[in-house]
Amino acid sequence: DTAVSQTPKYLVTQMGNDKSIKCEQNLGHDTMYWYKQDSKKFLKIMFSYNNKELIINETVPNRFSPKSPDKAHLNLHINSLELGDSAVYFCASSQDSGGNTIYFGEGSWLTVV
Amino acid sequence: AQSVSQHNHHVILSEAASLELGCNYSYGGTVNLFWYVQYPGQHLQLLLKYFSGDPLVKGIKGFEAEFIKSKFSFNLRKPSVQWSDTAEYFCAVNEAGGYQKVTFGTGTKLQVIP
């Protein structure tokens, strides 16, 4: 079983659309994350949740809204998609946010056309 | 806030050559340090990590890294690379304890030529 699973893996959509990426972890971890990796492979944290509560919210446009219905799920909803949103979005989890190993999902390749 | 620098952006080696990838961080307090690897088309996987204790850390697949506190460095090494080591390597750091985010370096692309 995949420890951190995210869907869809590939997503091609037009500018202005709204889309969601779902993420689930079956590791029993308390903390989940969303990272964005751009075309230059730069990996930047977007959000971090601990036990369903938002603890890190980097400078991300309001069009991005994470939702954590329970500590095993952290979904990412994006409104009014723009060309610059094209990237690979990685969901991840860790036991806590104090420096334990982060386990990454396989990534969701988002292309906005 | 902490930051991570990886000065080697693209490294090309022949098989059996030795590898050393540089990583420097900036933060004055106690840190946890990581190296992650991303094989082509795949997600990031942990290679090794340092929390405390012996500054020479051994990881999977023959990789090791040495934490030198005075130099704020955590360089990754492997004595003899293989073609299968071709991947992107990311150094990462976070402040020890509490709710601290992990900051990643910009990555080093390693290409191993058979």
The model's pLDDT over B19-61, given as tens digits with 9 standing for 90+, comes to 999 999 998 788 889 999 999 888 899 999 998 899 999 999 9
Proportion of chain A above pLDDT 70, given as a percent: 96
pLDDT tens sequence across A10-35: 999 999 999 999 999 999 999 999 99
Whether B69 shows a pLDDT value over 80: the answer reads yes
CA terminus-to-terminus distance, chain A: 33
User: In the predicted model, what is the mean pLDDT of residues A4-10?
Assistant: 95
Instruction: Indicate the pLDDT class of residue B98, thresholds 50, 70 and 90.
Output: low
Mean pLDDT calculated for residue range A40-47: 87
Is the model more confident about B2 or about B78?
B78
Interval A62-86 mean pLDDT: 95
Q: Average pLDDT over chain A, rounded to whole? A: 91
Q: Which helix (H) or strand (E) holds A72?
A: none
- Do B102 and A98 make contact, defined as CB atoms within 8 angstroms? no
Percent of all residues in chain B with a pLDDT value above 70, rounded to a whole number: 96
Report the greatest alpha carbon distance in chain A: 38
Distance CA B51, CA B31 (A): 7
Give percent of chain B above pLDDT 90: 74
A22 is written with which tokens?
Answer: 């779902």
Residue listed under structure tokens 């860790």: A94
A59 touching chain B per CB within 8 A: no
Per-residue confidence (pLDDT) for residue B86, from 0 to 100: 97
Distance CA B31, CA B21 (A): 19
**Residue at A3: amino acid letter:** A
What SS3 class is residue A9?
coil
Is the Cβ of B11 closer than 8 Å to some Cβ of chain A? Answer: no
CB of B8 within 8 Å of a chain A CB? The answer is: no
Size of interface A-B (CB pairs under 8 A): 59
pLDDT at B79: 97
- DSSP strand pairing (A108-112 vs A10-13): parallel
* B104 at A interface, C-beta within 8 A: yes
Of B7 and B56, the one with more pLDDT? B56
Determine the pLDDT at residue B99: 61
Find how far residue B106's CA is from the centre of its chain.
Answer: 11
Report chain B's terminal Cα–Cα distance, integer Å.
41
User: Strands (DSSP E) along chain B, which ranges?
Assistant: 3-5, 10-14, 19-21, 24-26, 31-38, 44-50, 56-58, 64-68, 73-78, 87-95, 103-104, 108-113
